[in-house]
C-alpha cells in the first residue's frame, strides 16, 4: 500500500466537507449513549476475549451521520451510511472498540481507492462537466453504486442494522480460529423512504434517541457472520454469501444518552483496530489504514 494514502484520504475529506474545527473528518455529527454488553455462551466458545466472558461490560456508544458536516440534516441522503462506534470498558482499564456502519459492504477494497473516490467527489461539484470525475470513478468501480444502495435512512438510530464490513479473526481458549464479520441487529428494523426522510426535522435521529431512552432501554443483538474456509477475508467490498452461519454474540443494551453528549464525543476516539487478546486482525488491509486515518483526524480535531 501507499503509506501516504490514509493522510491523503483525510485531506480529501477535509476538502470535500469543508473545515469544521474540533469535529471528526467523517461522521462529524453524532450522539453518545451509555449502556452495557452481555455475551452469550456461544461467544465464549468462539473467542477468549474478555468482552465475550459473559460478564456485564460497560459500553460507550456513539451513533453518527456520514460526512464531515456537523449540521447535516439526519434525513439527508448524504447522511447515509449512519454509523455506530462501540467502546467496551473492561475492568482494569483495557478498552476495545468496534466501529461499524449501515453499509452492507464497503464501496472500494482499500484506502488508496477510497482516497481516489473522495478526491473524485471533491472534483465533481454541482455543475461540473459530465461525465464528472465521480461518475467516471463509479463506472470503473461498480461496487460504489452497489454499496451505496444498501444504506437507507432509519426511523431511529436504534431501529437500524449495522455491519462490521472488515473481517476479524476470533480465537478461543483451545486456539481455534474463525474469521468473522460483526453485525449489530436492532429489536426491529425500520427504514424511511426518501420522501419521508426528507420531511424529517434536521436533528430527528439525535433527538429521538434521547426521547426513546428516557422511556426505557433499547437493545441490539451483536452477531458474528462466520466465514467458510473458502471465503476471502481481504476485500471489504465483497460481502460473504447471505447463507453463511450467523452466531449471536450477545446483547447490547443502551440505557441513556450521555448528559453532555457534545462534550463527550469530542473527548472520545474510536479505533477500528483497537483489539484485545482473543480477537485478531485478518488479512483485510483496510483496518490498519483506517487506524492511521482516524489518528490523523483525532490529532486535527484536538490540536
Ligand atoms: C479507508 C477507509 C476508511 C477511512 C479512511 C475512514 C476514515 C474515517 C475518519 C478519518 C473518521 C473520523 C475519526 C475520528 O476523528 O475519530 C471516521 C469515522 C468513522 N468511520 Fe470511517 N473510514 C473508513 C472506513 C470505514 C468503514 C469500513 C466503516 C464501517 C464499517 C467506517 C465507519 C466509521 C464510523 C462509524 C465513524 C465514526 C466513529 C465515531 O463515532 O467516532 N469507516 N472514518
pLDDT single digits (tens) 126-149: 999 999 999 999 999 999 999 999
The answer on pLDDT for 211 being more than 90 is: yes
> Atom 1, ligand 1: which residue's CA is nearest?
111
Task: Judge if the beta carbon of residue 12 lies within 6 A of ligand 1.
Answer: no
The answer on pLDDT for 85 being more than 90 is: yes
In order of 11, 64, 91, 100, 286, the CA distances from 81 in angstroms are 20, 9, 32, 10, 17
C-alpha 28/C-alpha 46 separation (Å) is 34
Contact 255, 58 (CB under 8 A): no
Would you say 294 is a known binding-site residue? Answer: yes
pLDDT in tens, 6-45: 999 999 999 999 999 999 999 999 999 999 999 999 999 9
The answer on pLDDT for 158 being more than 90 is: yes
Provide the pLDDT confidence category of residue 99 given band limits of 50, 70 and 90: very high
Q: Of all residues in the chain, what percent carry a pLDDT higher than 70?
A: 100
pLDDT in tens, 60-70: 999 999 999 99
Task: Judge if the beta carbon of residue 26 lies within 6 A of ligand 1.
Answer: yes
Average pLDDT over residues 81-96: 97
Average pLDDT over residues 49-63: 98
Structural domain that includes position 58: 5-301
The answer on pLDDT for 164 being more than 90 is: yes
pTM: 0.98
Task: Give me the pLDDT at residue 257, please.
Answer: 98
Task: Give me the pLDDT at residue 77, please.
Answer: 96
Q: How many domains does the chain have?
A: 1
Please report the DSSP string for 61-116 in residue order: EEEE-SSS-TT--TTSGGGPSPEEEEEEE-TTS-EEEEEEES-SS-SSSSHHHHHH
First-last CA distance in the chain: 28
CATH code, domain carrying 227: 2.40.180.10
> Atom 35, ligand 1: which residue's CA is nearest?
83
pLDDT in tens, 189-204: 999 999 999 999 999 9
ipTM > 0.90 (yes/no): yes
Task: Give me the pLDDT at residue 44, please.
Answer: 97
C-alpha 252/C-alpha 36 separation (Å) is 6
C-alpha 57/C-alpha 35 separation (Å) is 9
Percentages of the chain per state (helix, strand, coil), in multiples of 5: 30, 25, 45
Residue 27 bears catalytic tag: yes
Task: Give me the pLDDT at residue 190, please.
Answer: 98
Q: Which of 16, 64, 99, 166 to mutate to test the pocket of ligand 1 (most atoms within 8 A of CB)?
A: 99
Task: Give me the pLDDT at residue 1, please.
Answer: 81
Q: Which of 3, 234, 290, 298 to mutate to test the pocket of ligand 1 (most atoms within 8 A of CB)?
A: 290
Task: Judge if the beta carbon of residue 300 lies within 6 A of ligand 1.
Answer: no
Contact 153, 75 (CB under 8 A): yes
Amino acid at each position: 500500500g501507499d503509506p501516504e494514502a490514509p493522510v491523503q484520504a483525510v485531506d480529501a475529506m477535509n476538502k470535500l466537507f469543508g473545515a469544521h474545527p474540533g469535529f471528526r473528518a467523517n461522521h462529524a455529527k453524532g450522539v453518545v449513549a451509555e449502556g452495557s454488553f452481555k455475551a452469550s455462551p456461544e461467544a465464549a466458545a468462539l473467542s477468549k476475549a474478555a468482552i465475550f466472558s459473559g460478564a456485564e461490560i460497560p459500553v460507550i456508544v456513539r451513533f453518527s451521520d456520514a460526512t464531515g458536516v456537523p449540521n447535516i440534516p439526519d434525513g439527508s441522503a448524504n447522511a447515509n451510511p449512519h454509523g455506530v462506534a462501540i467502546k467496551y470498558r473492561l475492568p482494569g482499564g483495557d478498552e476495545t472498540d468496534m466501529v461499524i456502519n449501515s453499509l452492507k459492504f464497503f464501496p472500494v477494497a482499500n484506502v488508496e481507492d477510497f482516497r481516489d473516490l473522495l478526491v473524485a467527489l471533491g472534483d465533481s461539484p454541482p455543475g461540473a462537466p459530465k461525465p464528472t470525475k465521480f461518475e467516471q470513478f463509479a463506472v470503473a468501480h461498480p461496487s460504489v453504486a452497489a454499496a451505496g444502495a444498501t444504506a437507507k435512512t432509519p426511523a431511529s438510530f436504534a431501529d437500524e442494522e449495522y455491519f462490521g464490513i472488515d473481517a476479524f479473526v476470533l480465537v478461543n481458549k483451545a486456539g481455534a480460529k474463525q474469521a468473522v464479520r460483526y453485525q449489530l441487529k436492532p429489536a426491529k428494523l425500520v427504514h424511511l423512504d426518501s420522501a419521508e426522510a426528507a420531511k424529517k426535522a434536521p436533528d430527528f435521529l439525535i433527538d429521538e434517541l434521547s426521547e426513546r431512552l428516557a422511556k426505557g432501554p433499547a437493545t441490539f443483538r451483536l452477531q458474528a457472520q462466520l466465514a467458510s474456509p473458502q471465503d476471502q477475508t481481504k476485500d471489504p467490498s465483497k460481502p460473504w454469501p447471505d447463507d453463511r452461519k450467523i452466531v449471536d454474540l450477545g446483547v447490547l443494551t443502551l440505557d441513556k444518552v450521555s448528559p453532555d453528549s457534545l462534550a463527550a464525543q469530542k473527548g472520545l476516539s474510536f479505533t477500528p483496530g483497537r483489539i484485545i487478546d482473543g480477537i485478531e486482525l485478518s488479512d483485510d488491509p483496510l483496518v490498519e489504514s483506517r487506524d492511521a486515518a482516524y489518528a490523523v483526524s483525532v490529532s486535527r480535531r484536538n490540536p
